[in-house]
Structure 1
Amino acid sequence: MKMLLEVDAINTFYGPSQAIHDVSFGVAQSEVVALLGRNGAGKSTTLRSIMGLNGAASGRIRYGDRDITRMSPQAIARLGLTLVPETRDPFVLLTVRENIMLGYRPGSPYTLDRLMDLFPLLRELLKKKGGELSGGQQQMMVMARGLAMGPRLLLLDEPSQGLAPIMVKAVASVLKQLKGDGLTILLVEQNLNMALDIADRVVVMENGAVADTFDSATGRAEPARLEQYLAVH
């Protein structure tokens, strides 16, 4: 299986503190991989390292046939990687339409019409300011903004965090449709059932390192295998 993304033994620091240790895994073209683990396990730092926001001090990150380890976040984004952060970061004074289309790239398959099909809740909100939306509506908006860039690899950090159950279902529905489109996704998610339902494979992190990896069917069949990493100590 040819990997679109290969993370090879990366180590990342925040000042003197090491956040992730020799992290290695891959994501194949059109695959959905879920990064799971307790809070503080290093999942978000791994996404930020891939995007060049917190550069890896050592190790290597390859995307397709390119070594992107030392590239700037802007250069990495131009190659077709998009990160939707857990902080959402909407432009509060811009309308929903302006927020979404801010990063639109000509040729992206995710046109405004296609995005409204994916996120029907936003259709009636296009003229509202980003700061007037609920948390769930903002999550939909920033996901749509990321897709408008036409990514080949979408990195999603906790898309269901803090959302009402109805919005969690809406996010899950969008992710299933994106999977059906063949979009490659690396997903950090605390909602275990949603992650196992959508992902093809699971990479479990603990204390900043990869502790286990297996397919989602195994995760559903052997819940104890995951619970040992996710239970609060």
Structure 2
Amino acid sequence: MKTLLHVDAIETFYGKSQALHGVSFHVEEGETVALLGRNGAGKTTTLRSIMALSRVASGAVRFDGQDISGRETHEIARLGITLVPETRDAFSLLTVEENILLGYRPGSPFTLERILDLLPIIQEFRGRKGGELSGGQQQLMVMARGLAMGPRVLLLDEPSQGLAPVMVTAVAEILQTLKKERLTVVLVEQNLRMALDVADRVVLLEDGATVDTMSSAQALADPPRLEKHLAVH
């Protein structure tokens, strides 16, 4: 398979405080990779660094073979990387359909019709205003808006955070759908079971550094290897 995204020894600072210490991993085309780690491990900063929302001080981010480390965020988005942040950022006065279409990029294979076909649960509230939705419904909507941009790589930051169990299940089903569509995804997720169910590989971060990489099958077969860095059981 072709390596589509390569994060190579990146270091990122917030002021004088160093947040990332040489984070490295790669994502192959059509693969789902989960970034796992405790709170504060550097997962969100890694996604922000890929998108140039946080500037990389050293190292490189390569997309489809080209170094994009010095690009502006809007340029990176145009190249085909889309970030769905944990903040959700719904436009409260627009309908769900309008929110989704706001992200549509001409030529995107994910038209509104195809999105509604892939994610039929959105049909239930497509006419409601963004500000009227539950947190879970907003999450589904912003994931759909991200798809409408036609990404080659979709970055998802904590899509199940703070959601009711029924909506966590809905998010998990969407992730499985994207996996079947062979969309390339980088997932940050605290729900370990969900992450392992959908990811092909997991990258473990600790204190802003990459400490281990393994397949999901390896992670499931060797729980102590995860517990060492995640403090989970």
Task: Please state which band the TM-score falls in when normalised by the shorter chain.
Answer: over 0.9
What per-residue deviation string (whole Å, max 9, x for no partner) do you get for residues 54-113 of structure 1? 010111110002210010000000000000001101111111111101010122121112
How many residue pairs align between the two structures?
A: 232
> What is residue 182 of structure 1 aligned with on the other side?
182
Query: Shift of residue 118 of structure 1?
Result: 2.8
Query: Shift of residue 116 of structure 1?
Result: 1.3
Q: Which amino acid aligns with 1:229?
A: H
Deviating beyond 4 angstroms after TM superposition, the runs of 4 or more aligned structure 1 residues are none
Q: Which amino acid aligns with 1:187?
A: L
> What is residue 102 of structure 2 aligned with on the other side?
102
Q: Which amino acid aligns with 1:7?
A: V
> What is residue 27 of structure 2 aligned with on the other side?
27
> What is residue 71 of structure 2 aligned with on the other side?
71
> What is residue 215 of structure 2 aligned with on the other side?
215
Query: Shift of residue 178 of structure 1?
Result: 0.8
Q: Distance in 1 between matches of 2:34 and 2:126?
A: 31
> What is residue 129 of structure 1 aligned with on the other side?
129
> What is residue 12 of structure 1 aligned with on the other side?
12
Q: TM-score, normalised by structure 1?
A: 0.97
Query: Shift of residue 114 of structure 1?
Result: 1.6
Q: Secondary structure at the match of 2:70?
A: coil
**Residue 162 of structure 1 pairs with residue 150 of structure 2:** no
Q: Percent identity?
A: 68
Q: Distance in 2 between matches of 1:197 and 1:156?
A: 15
Query: Shift of residue 120 of structure 1?
Result: 2.2
Q: Distance in 2 between matches of 1:28 and 1:117?
A: 26
Q: Distance in 2 between matches of 1:166 and 1:115?
A: 20
> What is residue 88 of structure 1 aligned with on the other side?
88
Q: Distance in 2 between matches of 1:215 and 1:126?
A: 37
1:186-205 map, 5 Å: 186-205=186-205
Query: Shift of residue 21 of structure 1?
Result: 0.4
Q: Which amino acid aligns with 2:63?
A: Y
**Unpaired segments ≥5 residues, structure 2:** none
Q: Distance in 2 between matches of 1:188 and 1:60?
A: 20
Q: Which amino acid aligns with 1:38?
A: R
Q: Which amino acid aligns with 2:185?
A: I
Which moves more between the two structures, 150-159 or 162-171?
162-171
> What is residue 142 of structure 2 aligned with on the other side?
142
Query: Shift of residue 7 of structure 1?
Result: 0.7
**Unpaired segments ≥5 residues, structure 1:** none
Q: Secondary structure at the match of 2:41?
A: coil
Q: Secondary structure at the match of 1:57?
A: strand
Q: Distance in 1 between matches of 2:171 and 2:118?
A: 10
Q: Which amino acid aligns with 2:24?
A: S
Q: Which amino acid aligns with 2:8?
A: D
Q: Distance in 2 between matches of 1:2 and 1:17?
A: 35
Q: Which amino acid aligns with 1:173?
A: E
Q: Distance in 2 between matches of 1:229 and 1:166?
A: 29
> What is residue 59 of structure 1 aligned with on the other side?
59
